[in-house]
Amino acid sequence: MTEELIALSACQAVHRLEAGEVSPLEMIDAAAARIVEVEPQVNALPTLCLERARAHAERLMAGKGREAMGQAGWLAGLPVAIKDLMDVGGVRTTYGSPIFADHVPSASHPLVQRIERMGGVVIGKSNTPEFGAGGNTFNEVFGKTRNPWNTALTPAGSTGGGAAALAAGEIWLAHGSDHGGSLRRPATYCSVVGLRPSPGRVTRGTVNTMFSPLSVQGPMARNVPDLALFLDAMAGFCPADPMTFDAPAVSFSQAVAEAKIPLRIAYAETIGGSPIDRETRNICRAAMGIFQNLGAEVEEINIEIDDLEGTFLALRSQQFVIDRELQLQSHRDLIKPDIIWNTELGLKQSISDLAKAERSRAVLYGRFAELFGEYDLIVTPGANTPAFDVDLRHPEAIDGVKLEHYMAASLLTAAITLSASPALSLPCGFDQYGRPIGLQLVAPPRGEAPLLAAGALYEAESGLYKQLPIDPRPGTVPPVTGS
């Protein structure tokens, strides 16, 4: 029965839970058995809370905690994973940092409370880079997470644990966060789907950067209808987060069920001149034929952005100062070099540097607003490069361009972060070495409904989601091309 339940989509599982054909306890047991089977190969869910999950399941089965039953996003006792950056009351939560290796919060984050109120049952914490900073998921507390498609490779970061757990069938839904691509790039590397919602769509609850739109919380799943279901569970106004707003009158699940293909789609091979792996470019361009077959008009465009890297790093580094300045003063020896570099970059900036970055961000937003006046959707490759060596912090080069720092491999996704647009990472194929390749679909701000609808239609046509879940596969690191 474990194999049968693990193979279900989240929507199918919720349907069976609601019909009483399976119990939340049986779902937990199925997940636990699969975790025992595959976790040694992937290290995606290093912290489990199965007894806490079973206690929650028993309350639901006794008719308690079901006030949200019937609402959009009701999960009916479905097990979920929470990224180890977010507090779950009574469960070890390390933020991937040795500073917090033994930290056990007494209360759950507002988003966890919302997910549990919607019938989600937390069974574990997914692995993350230290404080979520990095394009590869590893830390000094739990070690490396590996990509189920090839365990010699990374699942990317920072929601790499969630992406790997989904692909390997350990879980049906995974929570994550995204600053420069942390929901999108791992989804691409693991051939699952990840959504960076519009700022304010999902509560961030307790962050220090409460008034910044850069970092968001969001869902990850194996297919788009499941993703819409989890977004429905997450979305809505939260008094703890001043940027949040009410959930839509029409649920995201309904929008997917009533999907219509967008009329005009722009395809951009890159943004701001960011280097892209050559084979990735070819696969993604060819994949746009599916949208054309569905009846959309596709036009290839260039999106020129002056100093994209400088603008993003300036704004990102300011957030690192807010979050990490005091920790560098007290625990510098326990913090990894990438975080020290990013924080010190912010500390060295002048007010004029930040003002320039804000002006550049306003210009970028205006450019995207113009594009969305002409196109319903913008599509790019899902990542600058496919999955790389799990032992590297970041790729050393992309298409012959040497990378100076870890964020240089995430500029395609970082550009969309600056635009405040929702973005969906969607599988579109595999390269010659069997590494997953994906697309990044981008809609106007607060346009998650048409974005998910378009993704669902593409996904149904491509059929790639049917390959999941997979048993972890050993492999080797492909050669670096174009260097």
Please tell me the chain's helix, strand, coil percentages from 3-state DSSP, rounded to the nearest 5: 40, 15, 40
Residue 471: strand pairing partners: none
Q: Which of 158, 251, 253, 421 is catalytic?
A: 158
| Count of other CB atoms within 10 angstroms of residue 20 | 9
Contacts of 295 (CB under 8 A, 6+ apart): 261
Is 260 among the catalytic positions? no
Q: Which of 9, 97, 126, 182 is catalytic?
A: 182
Give the containing element (helix H, strand E) for 2.
helix 2-7
Q: Is the separation of the CB atoms in 363 and 307 below 8 Å?
A: no
Distance of CA 102 to the CA centre of its chain: 26
In Å, how far are 133, 252, 407 from 415, measured between CA atoms? 17, 25, 11
Q: Is the separation of the CB atoms in 442 and 418 below 8 Å?
A: no
Q: Which of 83, 360, 410, 421 is catalytic?
A: 83
**Peptide bond preceding 225 in cis form (omega within 30 of 0):** no
Contacts of 79 (CB under 8 A, 6+ apart): 24, 27, 28, 31, 53, 120, 121, 122, 123, 171, 172
Least Cα distance to 419 among 303, 287, 277, 291 occurs for: 303
Is 317 among the catalytic positions? no
Is 182 among the catalytic positions? yes
Q: Which residues are catalytic?
A: 83, 158, 182
